[in-house]
Amino acid sequence: MKKTLEKINSLVELGIIRNYAIGGAMGQFYYIEPSATYDLDVMLHLNRIENDLDPLREIYNWARKNNHEESNEHIIIDGIPVQFLLAYNELVSEAVDNANKITMFTVETYVMKQEYLMAIMLQTHRNKDLIRLVKFIEESDYDKSLLENIIKKYKLTEDYNSFKEKFINNA
């Protein structure tokens, strides 16, 4: 994982990626017990987009030039399947911009704050995300007021209240 993170950081140094944050189940790993996953989700902002129909082209060109295999939507970087995703909406964009800078395997990297991960799980509303959201609420020491502000800002209050009614005792 160390080499994978170093190579992701090199994309920032090369000016291809402006900033990024690890999200998904690997992002969750930093805060609570991990759930099963096999890939690393990297949400990002690019410095430039040369082709609107193929915005990640520069990353894939870098991967080919550096002999990193492609497998479906992943680039295999030192054995780790990495899925690069543009920040696809305002919530994810804000999550990338406000990520926590951490050190993982002696490499500085960025992980989405848990409150943003939680809001994204609520927004995507997939079963596996709702299960993870329950784990966050039960196991993590998150900032409740920050989560509530994010939920309110992105108009997720009704979804959150419904979620709490169904899944959280005494919420």
- Residue by residue, DSSP assigns 11-29 as HHHTTSEEEEEEEHHHHHH
CA neighbor of 25 nearest in space, from 168, 136, 101: 136
What pLDDT sits at residue 32? 86
Mean pLDDT to the nearest integer, 28-42: 82
What pLDDT sits at residue 10? 97
Query: Domain 2-112 is in which class?
Result: alpha beta
Per-residue pLDDT of 74-131, as tens digits, reads: 999 999 999 999 999 999 999 999 999 999 899 999 999 999 999 999 999 999 899 9
Mean pLDDT to the nearest integer, 17-41: 86
CA neighbor of 42 nearest in space, from 118, 99, 122: 99
Locate CATH 3.30.460 in the chain: 2-112
Judged against a pLDDT cut of 70, whether residue 170 lies above it is answered with no
